[in-house]
Each structure stands twice: as C-alpha cells, then as structure tokens.
C-alpha cells in the first residue's frame, strides 16, 4: 500500500478508509494533501475490490479548508499554486463522484471552506453532534471551490446556498441535517463506529446497482425526462442479467437473504 504524508489510506476487504491526517493544521488542504487525496481516490477507483470509500478526518476538525499559511508562502506564485491545489482537489472530488464505489463521509468536527465543500459531496454523510459547517471563503476575500457551487444548490436550493456563501453563516450539525446537507447526525463518541457500520452494510450490497444509482442521480438534473427514463431502463435491464441481479431475484423468490459478490 502506498505511503502518504498527509493522509492515511487503508483497504480492508471491500471498504477503503481515507483519513485526512494533518491534525496540527486542522486538516487544512495544502498542495501535498490535495495531491494525496487525488492519488488515494485514484487508487480506490481502480481497485475493483473496493465497494465503499469511507472518508473522515483525524483530530478535532474534519477540514478547515485551504491552508492559508501555505497560500502566503506561495508568494508571487500564489495564483498558479492555488489553481494547482484546486485542480488536485477537484480531481479527487470528480473521482469520488464518478467511481462505482459508494462514498461515505464522516464529518468529525468543523468543516470550513473547502472542507465544507468536500464534506457534502458524499453519497452518504454522517456528522458528529459537535460538527459545524461554514463556507468561510469570503471571510478571507476568496470565492468557493471544491464543487460547492455545483452540489449545494442541488442539495439545498439557490437561496440557502447564497446565504451560506455570502454571509458565512455557521450551521450546527442538526441544522445541516434539517437543511439536507447531511444524512444523519450521531453522537461524537459513536461517529466512527456508525460510519464503519454503514460502510460495511453498503459493502455487502449490490455494487453494480449502487454504481448505477450514483451515475443516474449525477445526471438527473441535466437530462430531460425521456432521456433519464431511457438510462434507467438500460441500467435496470443490465442489472437484471448481472450476477448480483440474478442472485437478488433468486433470493427474493426463494425467500432468503441475497449473497452479493
């Protein structure tokens, strides 16, 4: 397994666990962490045994966004270096969004800026009770990145997205749940246990069907009705003749629990 400087990657059976690991810097994204996140996503995407990716952070914060100290250190190269950092982050998010594996994100603390953006891209998002969410970009004179201007209007609507991005309003975990930004809120002490439990549950499910769900939902707001239904029809037909589909149908008829590959 590849060794990383700013994150940890562990693959156990069908579950890959990525942990942002710069706790002394609030897991803020510098160039190294952004590159490593893209590399870890690529490894998971190309490992056919991986059916679920679990992404979380170490320490008190999930991710404080971009590492502003690193930005200052870029000096005259700041524009080019920050664009490079954003490109690496965006590469990771694109891979997470399009990979067959389900992405579970466990938000263990404050998610700010790009950390907020990254947190809400998951297919299933758990938040600790103490987690907080703030865009924070304009507080430092910056505009959003990390796919937030794509995903957030789709998750919570334009008006709420505008409020979060323009005013830097901070949401509690419960508010984020009420707004539809996260899937579940759990006690701090049980976050990792609950995240691993749902990852394990999903890993035991039909990977092909999960992959189709991700793909169909990603294009749902772009496609017209007939185009979307045609894609649904093609995918369900393919699923029905796949090994998992055949096993699931047989198990239902035989009144037993399916054993998906």
Tell me, yes or no, whether 113 and 156 share the same domain.
Answer: yes
Contact assessment for residue 111 and residue 175, using Cβ atoms and an 8 Å cutoff: no
What local confidence, expressed as pLDDT, does residue 2 receive?
77
The pair of structure tokens assigned to 137 is: 């970009």
- Give the C-alpha separation, 130 to 124, whole Å: 18
> Which residues have CB under 8 Å from 106's CB, separation 6+?
54, 55, 56, 126, 127, 128, 191, 192, 194, 195
- Give the C-alpha separation, 20 to 1, whole Å: 16
Tell me, yes or no, whether 233 and 199 share the same domain.
Answer: no
Closest CA to 129 of 147, 146, 157, 106: 106
The pair of structure tokens assigned to 171 is: 């949401």
pLDDT tens sequence across 224-252: 999 999 999 999 999 999 999 999 999 99
Tell me, yes or no, whether 172 and 184 share the same domain.
Answer: yes
End-to-end CA, the chain:
24
Residues, the chain, total?
261
Q: Which residue has the tokens 């369900």?
A: 236
Tell me, yes or no, whether 72 and 160 share the same domain.
Answer: yes
Tell me, yes or no, whether 120 and 228 share the same domain.
Answer: no
SS3 call for 254 = coil
The pair of structure tokens assigned to 43 is: 């490894």
Tell me, yes or no, whether 53 and 166 share the same domain.
Answer: yes
Closest CA to 64 of 30, 18, 106, 101: 30
Tell me, yes or no, whether 157 and 231 share the same domain.
Answer: no
Domain residues for the domain of 103 are 7-203
Residue 260 lies in a domain: no
pTM value is 0.94
Tell me, yes or no, whether 172 and 238 share the same domain.
Answer: no
Residue 135 lies in a domain: yes
CATH number of the domain that 80 lies in? 3.90.226.10
When divided into structural domains, the chain yields a total of 2
Tell me, yes or no, whether 184 and 213 share the same domain.
Answer: no
pLDDT tens sequence across 123-165: 999 999 999 999 999 999 999 999 999 999 999 999 999 999 9
Tell me, yes or no, whether 242 and 216 share the same domain.
Answer: yes
- Give the C-alpha separation, 20 to 59, whole Å: 9
Residue 156 lies in a domain: yes
Tell me, yes or no, whether 185 and 233 share the same domain.
Answer: no
Q: Which residues of the chain fall below pLDDT 70? A: 1
Residue 2 lies in a domain: no
Closest CA to 132 of 149, 150, 116, 155: 116
Environment class of 233 (CB within 10 Å of its CB; exposed 0-12, middle 13-18, buried 19+): exposed
Residue 122 lies in a domain: yes
What local confidence, expressed as pLDDT, does residue 1 receive?
66
Number of Cβ within 10 Å of residue 28's Cβ equals 24
Tell me, yes or no, whether 237 and 151 share the same domain.
Answer: no
Phi, psi of 103 (to 5 degrees): -105, 115
């Amino acid at each position: 397994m590849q060794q990383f400087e700013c994150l940890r990657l562990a693959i156990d059976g069908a579950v890959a666990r990525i942990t942002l690991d710069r706790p002394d810097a609030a897991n803020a994204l510098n160039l190294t962490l952004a590159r490593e996140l893209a590399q870890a996503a690529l490894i998971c995407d190309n490992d056919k045994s991986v059916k679920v990716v679990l992404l979380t952070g170490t320490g008190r914060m999930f991710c404080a966004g971009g590492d502003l100290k690193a930005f200052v250190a870029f000096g005259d190269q700041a524009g080019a270096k920050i664009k490079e950092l954003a490109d690496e982050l965006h590469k990771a998010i694109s891979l997470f969004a399009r990979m067959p594996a389900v992405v579970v994100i466990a938000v263990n603390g404050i998610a700010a800026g790009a950390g907020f953006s990254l947190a809400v891209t998951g297919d299933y998002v758990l938040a600790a009770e103490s987690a907080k969410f703030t865009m924070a970009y304009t507080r430092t004179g910056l505009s959003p990145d990390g796919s937030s201007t794509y995903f957030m209007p789709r998750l919570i609507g334009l008006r709420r997205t505008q409020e979060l991005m323009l005013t830097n309003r901070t949401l509690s975990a419960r508010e984020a749940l009420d707004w539809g930004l996260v899937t579940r809120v759990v006690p701090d002490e049980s976050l990792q246990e609950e995240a691993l439990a749902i990852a394990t549950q999903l890993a035991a499910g039909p990977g092909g069907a999960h992959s189709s769900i991700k793909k169909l939902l990603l294009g749902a707001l772009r496609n017209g009705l007939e185009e979307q239904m045609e894609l649904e029809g093609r995918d369900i037909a393919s699923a029905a003749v796949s090994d998992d589909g055949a096993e699931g149908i047989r198990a239902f008829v035989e009144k037993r629990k399916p054993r998906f590959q």
